[in-house]
């Protein structure tokens, strides 16, 4: 069945427009409570990022869950992976995150974790959706849920992050720029790195409800670069608004993306014997990343775009490490979901263990030039049924041979076809991408 409300990572949209309205979110809390709390009364953990709309939606979810007979544990502003961890550690029924991740403040969303700290399966989301079309029927007064607040959530999660690397690892002597995007890591990440010994220069740690992700964080490394260069820092570490993805930067101001960071972690785990299988990337993972892993004898498989799909393949393969170039990195030996802080610590642990700088650790991996063109479409276009598009793809792949890749896919959230070409020759890549984009535009006009 096709999902009506849930996307690849929960429900998301513009605040005040369906589905991100107070009445809908209240009913979502009730429907989720009815589905997730079947076995017993249970308790649901709720956390949020720093958007001003989080206060409103937190109250709506709390009311809906209470109406379904579930208790609520409120954490306040916390990174998405922190909600997954505390849900599991509290033996809660489920966890809910109020966040639109890397989107601007005027968007918001709701995503769920099960009792084990994993994203909900499709079947459970469909069950919740089915109830959303039914009348809200609250439990009797004697069964209404209660809400409490966890006062020490911040400290618990800081200690959990620190425990993801060995006690022998110290960051003493390191100068780090930590960019929190005015988001959920603002009061967590600086403390983690300071307590491990680093000198921390804070960026994006003054949220006001509307500046989340605004010209700071993982999507805007320029801000981090200026601080790294001005302060002579060893590295920069930037998170997105909800803290489940990151980018890092070396002392020269060069950004290292998720593929490069995964490569560093994978090599370190291979050397220590802790890799536990291969690495899962996505259709967007750079071909240079795949070739570098192959050179080290590390198995690699691609999943569909989205950390949800990476997780599914990791579980299927019984592997532990995967992620996306965008900075979602999943270390299943440490936690149950993508976690920017924990992934950054794994990179730092690897660098310290090898006595390398960030740039040195990436030197054996070549990032192939990649061109991405978003082609607006006025009507749905089935790429597989378009002869001219398929012929153009075949021609481009023939020109690239084994030195590149072509990927065309429809956006899951916008009326766009994403055209991606990568290869060793930058000029050739750009030319082929433009040619394919023109073919898609022409095919859509017919």
Q: Hey, which residues are catalytic here?
A: 101
Residue 67: its H or E element: helix 53-67
Diameter over CA atoms, the chain: 71
Is 153 strand, coil or helix? helix
Nearest by Cα to 97 from 249, 235, 240, 200:
240
Print burial letters for 265-289: b (CB count within 10 Å at least 16), e (below 16): bbbbbbeeeebeebbbbbebbbbbb
Tokens encoding 93: 């029924």
Asked if 299 contacts 277 with a C-beta cutoff of 8 angstroms, the reply is: yes
> How many whole angstroms from its chain centre is CA 370?
21
CA distances from 229 to 27, 193, 214, 249 (A): 49, 19, 21, 10
8 A C-beta contact, residue 246 and residue 237: yes
Q: Can you tell me the distance from the alpha carbon of 190 to that of 24, in angstroms, rounded to the nearest whole number?
A: 36
239 contacts 185 by C-beta, under 8 angstroms:
yes
Q: Do residues 216 and 196 lie in contact, with contact meaning Cβ atoms separated by under 8 Å?
A: no
Q: Respond yes or no on whether the N-terminal peptide bond of residue 19 is cis (omega within 30° of 0).
A: yes
Angle at 145 between CA 141 and CA 146, to 5 degrees: 115
Q: How far apart are CA 96 and CA 29, in angstroms?
A: 9
Q: Rounded to whole angstroms, how far apart are CA atoms 269 and 325?
A: 19
- What is the Cα–Cα distance from 369 to 389, expressed in whole angstroms? 22
CA distances to 7, 337, 412 from 213, rounded to whole Å, are 21, 21, 22
Tokens 């039914």 belong to: 134
| Range list of H helices, 68-162 | 80-89, 122-132, 153-162
């Amino acid at each position: 069945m096709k999902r009506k409300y849930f996307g690849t990572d929960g429900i998301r949209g513009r605040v005040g427009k369906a589905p991100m309205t107070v009445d809908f979110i209240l009913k979502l809390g009730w429907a989720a409570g009815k589905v997730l709390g079947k076995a017993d009364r249970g308790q649901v953990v709720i956390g949020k990022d720093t958007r001003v709309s989080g206060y409103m939606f937190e109250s709506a979810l709390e009311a809906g869950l209470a109406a379904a007979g579930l208790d609520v544990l409120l954490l306040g502003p916390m990174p998405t992976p922190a909600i997954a961890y505390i849900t599991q550690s509290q033996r809660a029924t489920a966890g809910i995150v109020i966040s639109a991740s890397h989107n601007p403040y005027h968007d918001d969303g709701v995503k769920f974790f099960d009792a084990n700290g994993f994203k909900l399966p499709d079947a459970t989301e469909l069950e919740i959706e089915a109830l959303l079309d039914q009348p809200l029927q609250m439990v009797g007064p004697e069964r209404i849920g209660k809400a409490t607040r966890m006062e020490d959530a911040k400290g618990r999660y800081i200690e959990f992050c620190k425990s993801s690397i060995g006690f022998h690892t110290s960051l003493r002597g390191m100068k780090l720029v930590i960019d929190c995007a005015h988001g959920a890591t603002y009061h967590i990440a600086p403390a983690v790195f300071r307590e491990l010994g680093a000198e921390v220069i804070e960026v994006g740690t003054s949220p006001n409800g509307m500046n989340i992700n605004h010209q700071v964080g993982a999507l805007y490394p320029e801000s981090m670069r200026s601080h790294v260069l001005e302060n002579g820092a060893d590295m920069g570490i930037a998170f997105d608004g909800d803290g489940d993805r990151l980018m890092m930067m070396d002392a020269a101001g060069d950004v290292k993306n998720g593929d490069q960071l995964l490569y560093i972690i994978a090599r370190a785990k291979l050397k220590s014997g802790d890799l536990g299988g291969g690495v899962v990337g996505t259709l967007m993972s750079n071909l240079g990343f795949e070739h570098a892993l192959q050179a080290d004898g590390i198995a690699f498989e691609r999943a569909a775009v989205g950390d949800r799909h990476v997780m599914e393949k990791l579980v299927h393969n019984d592997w532990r490490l995967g992620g996306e170039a965008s900075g979602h990195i999943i270390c299943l030996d440490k936690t149950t979901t993508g976690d920017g802080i924990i992934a950054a610590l794994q990179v730092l642990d690897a660098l310290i263990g090898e006595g390398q700088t960030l740039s040195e650790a990436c030197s054996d991996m070549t990032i192939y030039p990649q061109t991405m063109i978003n082609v607006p479409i006025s009507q749905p276009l089935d790429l597989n049924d378009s002869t001219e598009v398929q012929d153009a793809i075949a021609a481009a792949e023939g020109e690239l041979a084994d030195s590149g890749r072509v990927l065309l896919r429809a956006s899951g959230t916008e009326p766009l076809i994403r055209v991606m070409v990568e290869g060793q020759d930058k000029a050739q890549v750009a030319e082929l991408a433009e040619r394919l984009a023109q073919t898609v535009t022409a095919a859509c006009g017919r």
